[in-house]
Structure 1
Amino acid sequence: MRQKPSGRWEARYRDDRGRLRGKTFATKVEARRFLARVNADVQRGDYVDPRGGKEMFGSLATAWLASGLHWKPLTRRRYEGVLTSHLLPEFQESPVGSIDRHGVQEYLGKLVAGGLSPGTVRKIYAVLRMVLDTAVETRALRANPAIGVRLPKASARKMLVLEAFQVEQLAVEVGAPYELLIRFAAWSGLRAGEIAGLQLSDVDLLRARVQVATSVADMGGALLRGDTKNSRVRMISIPADLRDEIAAYLNARGVTGAEPDAALFVGPKGGPLRHGNFYSRRFRPAVGRALPPSLHGLRFHDLRHTCASLLIANGWHPKAVSDHLGHASIQITMDLYGHLLDSYHDALVARLDEAYGNARRAADRPQTDHTGPQADHETAPTPSSSRAVSRNEKHGRKAS
């Protein structure tokens, strides 16, 4: 600490990275108090760069995007979309140090009042929080002002599943060329993006198996191919009849093995399958016509839930269901479909009851009396009589 020619006092210190810093004050007392406070912060690991809070949110967001080297292309595009459409128009020219919890809460309330769904607001909030986490990591902020705010409650959506006959009704109502797409979705359990990403080389018609390796998303009209949700490649089995329908479908399109990169499912004119167009123009109207009112809220993703229900109803073990659906862990499967596993448990108990009853009846059944030409001869001794003979012989007596 030193006094400058101007009469002001300069407090000099080293930050948490060892860099020399300084700040001037009108009095020596103010400078001393500042130094004590800064040194304590450095010792506790709570030091905040006084200049860091002046960085604009837009600049910080750009740095955050550049740091996401591990993100999938689809994830990056979604984050960029949230920043461009929502966060930058609101915070781009705001110093990060001026953003407080009250301001974040007020902003979220404005989004809800503007008609955005709770789910969408939560996604915007998640990006905002991650950007501000970067400010904490770089010591621009002591704490993240987005932590602790109240989020709109996402309403729990009832899971809808179809019976096998309803899958067929919906497929027929959707009509060509999408009938097979509906059947495939309900009996394979693939996500919409995974279905769009399937190529001819992914289908093993001989063994009725399908490799799930990529996913396609429509981002602002651009179809982006990337990894599956958990970046895992899995192999699933499909019913033999469904395999035969796929073979007939490909034959009708004139697709051969010489085109391994050809898409398995295409649009009505042979172009790329765009899920958004199919969903609004064909799927939703067909749901309203083919299914009862209680199922009019059915989404395409509910066909994935339908597959889980069909697998469980046919006795698949939860771990097999988890692997088939491509869940990151069996716990996800149990959380989603635990209520459907009651029937699976009941079937196992019934089989256990049957096994127990068969064993008891077999034990209570009288032994068959074997008679024949040797009936008058001396029979072989039983284990108990053999032991008696041995004891008598041991004591020098003959058995009667």
Structure 2
Amino acid sequence: MSTVKREAWGRLRKLPSGRWQARYPAPDGEMYPARTEDDKALTFVTKTDARKWLASMHSKISLGLWEPPEVIAERRRAETAAEQSRSMGFEEYSKRWLQMIKTEPNRSGKIRAVGTVRSYQGKVSGYLVPEFGDTPMRDIDVNRIRVMTDRLDKIPAPLNPKSKFNGITRPVLIVLMMILRQAARDGIIPAAPSVSIPRQESVRHDADHDESEDIRDCCTDR
């Protein structure tokens, strides 16, 4: 059987477990039990501990710093979600990005063609994921991108192995920068690294209309 003790302010109750529960009158007129910042039940080993907690809550209310427990919990959940997003790895985010571009319109307001999305997916799975894997998005900087482009530049051109330009580096870099710019817009990273896209050379992949729109978007600072 629990025992209720009236205090000068608030109430204490000894639970059957032997721990103490504290309740207090809030500015909104409701009585609230003690809760943790993530909105879980909070009880105390001793009556003294429960009284100390009540005293701290009374001071918080007196200073106008009180907030409803559900508001505090929601803010904590949002902060936790934001932190998890900021530490998201490249492979996970790139999957999210590929899903997004299937339905999100390009710069002209048009939905991308299936072939365009498939082309981007091939660059992500064939070059970018093997390069970055689970690397946190926030760790992909200019130096890491330079290492990638140096590696890609060494791949022989499929049609002319002796050619100086293989037609791979530029389109892969464009897709990477599209991903990074979207990550910046999503708040995953502060800003996309400042990287120059090399101009098209003789060995090339002719971009379709959708890709041309995305290239202009990728290469234009906002």
**TM-score, normalised relative to structure 2:** 0.46
Question: Highest Rg: 1 or 2?
Answer: 1
Larger RCO: Structure 1 or Structure 2 (Cα < 8 Å, ≥ 6 residues apart)? 2
**TM-score, normalised relative to structure 1:** 0.26
> Whose helix fraction is larger, Structure 1's or Structure 2's?
1
